[in-house]
A = this chain, B = another copy of it.
Amino acid sequence: MLRRKPKSVTQKVGQIPGSLQYTGVKREEKPGIRLLQYDEKEVLLNKELVYPDILQNLQPQKVNWIHFFTLDQVEAVEKIGEHFDIHSLMLEDTLNVEHLPKVEFSEDHVFLTLKILSLDNQNQLEQEHASFILGDDYLISFKEQRGELLKPIRLRIENNVGKVRKKRADYLFYLLVDAIVDNYFVLIEKLRTLLEDMEDSLIENSSENYIYEIHHIKKQILTIRKYIVALRESIFNLINEEPKQIFESNYKYLRDVQDHVNFVFDSIETFREDQKTLMELNMSNMSNRMNQVMKTLTVVASIFIPLTFIAGIYGMNFKNMPELDYQYGYFIVWGIMLVLTALMVWYMKRKKWF
């Protein structure tokens, strides 16, 4: 039901567990890895490195942020994973774009994978797989494609805005996750607008059938919900597990992220309710329209069928039909018909049929 064809799920069946494979769509960009190193005093930025350079340049006393712009670099991921002694099952989930949000812990790392979500102009859900591996003095981040979402954080580091340069890799980790989660608010906003617009349409334009449109919104909501539910659990586990890679004084920031995720989740739950309500409204509109149609038929038929009967009576060819010879017979019949019609209309008006 997603736009991305989930062929990847079966691609992996039958493989040796722990073997790396990128399951997303190959994108035609030049691959690249960025190394950003900083401490309170200085910042070193290396764009578009290849992995052997990275391993040579690491400086344990600084925060080392290794950022993959694309996931299309299986070898680099493998070698860097080996260097930092990261379990191959973690690396596998990094490259498996079908994986649900999840947190995992090993002796030396915290691993978190989640989705960057947005609605495009046709209100289609776009999703991007992002992962973070947090070590003591380094953070490795993975994204499917280049984008503007995490740029402000890089700029904040370069320009020394806020506390980021005074803190270690775990705060950077928080900032990145927070940026992705805050971005959900935009999505939430768009969905709310979509739902409200649909509600307005249903009320103002009550004879239109919007079932397919509501159905489309429902699918988006359910997909988003799936990711948010998994993310909520992951953040909960992250905070509960209290891994040593995160300083105790920084848990309040993660709890703030948790708060935001919960807000997003509650909104999504509300949207499901709203979507059901819209479905109900649409159904009610449709059945109301049916009522309208049937009432029209009934009004027309109930008035004219009896009248046609009367006309039929005096269209009979019996020899002996005294009324036919009355001077004003024709006009009397018209009179009777008008009275009958008036009675019918009055009765239907009373019943509020029109």
Report which A residues bind B (CB closer than 8 A): 1, 6, 9-10, 12-14, 16-17, 87, 89, 100, 102, 152, 156, 161-162, 178-179, 182-183, 185-186, 188-189, 192, 195-196, 203, 207, 209, 211-212, 215, 218-219, 222, 226, 252-253, 256, 259, 263, 266, 270, 273-274, 277, 279-281, 283-284, 286-298, 300-302, 304-309, 311-321, 323-330, 333, 351-353
Enumerate chain B residues within 8 angstroms of A211, measured Cβ to Cβ: 281, 284, 288
Shortest Cβ distance from residue A294 to the other chain B in the assembled complex, whole angstroms: 5
- How far in angstroms is the closest Cβ of chain B from A74? 18
Please report the C-alpha to C-alpha distance between residue A323 and residue B309 in the assembled complex, in whole angstroms.
20
Contact (Cβ within 8 A) B291 A293 = yes
Please, which residue of chain B has its CB at the minimum distance from the CB of A312?
Answer: B311
Partner of A182, one of B13, B186, B226, B308: B13
When the two chains form their complex, are residues B351 and A207 in contact, meaning their CB atoms are under 8 A apart? yes
A279 — nearest CB in chain B belongs to which residue? B280
Q: Could you say which of B9, B89, B324 contacts A317, with CB atoms under 8 Å apart?
A: B324
Q: Are A277 and B313 within 8 A (Cβ)? A: no
The smallest C-beta distance from A9 to any residue of chain B, in angstroms, reads: 5
B residues in contact with A256, CB < 8 Å: 17, 89
Bound: A197/B219 CA distance, A: 15
Q: A226–B266 contact, CB under 8 A?
A: yes
How long is the Cα–Cα vector from A37 to B147 in the complex, in angstroms?
54
Q: Are B295 and A293 within 8 A (Cβ)?
A: yes
Q: List 13 A-B contacts (CB under 8 A).
A: A1-B195, A1-B196, A16-B161, A17-B253, A211-B284, A289-B291, A290-B291, A291-B293, A294-B298, A305-B305, A307-B309, A318-B333, A319-B325
Would B305 and A312 count as touching, CB distance under 8 A?
no
**Chain B residue nearest to A156 in the complex (CB):** B16
Q: Indicate if the CB atoms of B317 and A10 lie closer than 8 Å.
A: no
